[in-house]
């Protein structure tokens, strides 16, 4: 392990030299992945990374996000440079509840080595995954802006403790306020959808918290089991197609981070008038996409859902 670490330290110094100016870049942290130098706080997924980045920037702390925009949190794996970055952070913020499937062992290991790892989702009153027989908790908490407002305050506290920077606490509260405003703005947008059209058909089972918070019914998903990497049976697909026909659903939703092939096939089988609209599910959009912060990602999704179903 020590050999591994010293090798990585050399790599980290080289990276730091290349990106000395970008270690405190504004949220969302565009320096995700290998371009980042060691940051004081490192976050796993981009929606959460945007929120942590806003708190860190406000408090004058450096931050980075492991995943790049467009990467699917369920299937992300770590490079060795990213592992170095993680181990050097004063605080690592992860979503938890099994979301970061390819990172869990690493997170457990650095925690054991003394790095503070804050798992956010378990702190936000998690709900069971819809239809999951063993009642595993649903990790997709970030799709409820109110829950993330609460998260911002908790992250500010934790960041303050981990770095000794007292300002992080008030920065957490200020981002909390911004996310409560986001929640209201999303509600205004989504309010345009009539009650009988508030039906979501999505690529995988990610919208449980969203549905509960904003008054929707998740009528079906293309990929069963709560992750993005399972394969539906032909019976699963047939049931989903029947549901879409029976409910007269006009729009089904795909995911920017995974192939659209399956949901396209489902829509085509359900009828020529069923549209497919893409949503940002587990990841922000790239810079300039109009969904490159947590707030703009959620507003974009709300608008696309409202346009698709209204």
Rounded least distance, CB 72 to Zn ion, Å? 8
Stretch that binds Zn ion, among 63-71, 105-113, 143-151, 275-283 (CB under 5 A): 275-283
Stretch that binds Zn ion, among 23-31, 85-93, 184-192, 277-285 (CB under 5 A): 277-285
Contacts with Zn ion, 226-265, as mask; x by CB under 5 A: ----------------------------------------
Residue with tokens 């999951």: 132
Rounded least distance, CB 103 to Zn ion, Å? 14
Rounded least distance, CB 95 to Zn ion, Å? 10
Residue with tokens 């992945």: 33
Residue 89 found at the interface with Zn ion (CB under 5 A): no
Residue 49 or 282: the one with the smaller Cβ distance to Zn ion is: 282
Q: Is 228 helix (H, G, I), strand (E, B) or coil?
A: coil
Nearest to 45 by CA among 2, 103, 89, 91: 103
Return the ∠ at Cα 167 (arms to 163 and 171), rounded to 5°.
110
Nearest to 41 by CA among 68, 16, 66, 71: 66
Element of type H or E holding 31: none
Stretch that binds Zn ion, among 45-53, 129-137, 261-269, 274-282 (CB under 5 A): 274-282
Spatial contact of 297 and 185, defined as CB atoms under 8 Å apart: no
Residue 129 or 299: the one with the smaller Cβ distance to Zn ion is: 129
* CB atoms inside a 10 Å sphere around CB 225: 16
Give the number of residues in contact with Zn ion, rule: CB under 5 A: 2
Nearest to 81 by CA among 20, 11, 182: 11
Of 177-216, binders to Zn ion (CB under 5 A) are: 206
Return the residue nearest Zn ion (CB atom): 206
Spatial contact of 251 and 264, defined as CB atoms under 8 Å apart: no
Stretch that binds Zn ion, among 58-66, 189-197, 257-265, 281-289 (CB under 5 A): 281-289
Contacts with Zn ion, residue ranges (CB under 5 A): 206, 282
């Amino acid at each position: 392990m020590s050999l591994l670490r010293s090798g990585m330290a050399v790599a980290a110094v080289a990276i730091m030299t290349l990106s000395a100016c970008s270690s405190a870049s504004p949220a969302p942290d565009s320096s995700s992945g290998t371009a980042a130098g060691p940051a004081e706080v490192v976050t796993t997924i981009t929606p959460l990374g945007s929120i942590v980045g806003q708190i860190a920037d406000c408090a004058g702390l450096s931050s980075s996000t492991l995943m790049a925009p467009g990467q699917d949190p369920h299937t992300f794996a770590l490079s060795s440079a990213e592992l170095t970055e993680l181990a050097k952070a004063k605080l690592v913020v992860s979503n938890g509840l099994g979301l970061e499937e390819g990172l869990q062992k690493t997170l457990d290991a650095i925690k054991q080595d003394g790095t503070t790892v804050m798992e956010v989702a378990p702190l936000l009153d998690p709900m069971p995954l819809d239809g999951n027989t063993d009642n595993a908790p649903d990790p997709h908490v970030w799709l409820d802006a109110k829950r993330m407002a609460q998260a911002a305050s908790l992250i500010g506290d934790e960041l303050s403790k981990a770095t000794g920077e007292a300002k992080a606490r008030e920065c957490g509260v200020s981002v909390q306020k911004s996310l409560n405003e986001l929640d209201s703005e999303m509600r205004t947008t989504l309010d345009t959808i009539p009650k009988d059209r508030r039906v979501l058909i999505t690529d995988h089972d990610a919208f449980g918290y969203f549905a509960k918070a904003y008054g929707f019914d998740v009528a079906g998903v293309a990929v069963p089991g709560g992750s993005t990497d399972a394969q539906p049976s032909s019976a699963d697909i047939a049931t989903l197609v029947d549901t879409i026909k029976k409910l007269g659903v006009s729009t089904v939703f795909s995911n920017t981070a995974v192939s659209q092939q399956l949901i396209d096939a489902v829509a085509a089988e359900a009828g020529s008038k069923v549209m497919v609209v893409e949503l940002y599910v587990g990841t922000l959009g790239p810079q300039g996409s109009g969904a490159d912060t947590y707030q703009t990602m959620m507003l974009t999704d709300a608008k696309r859902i409202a346009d698709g179903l209204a």
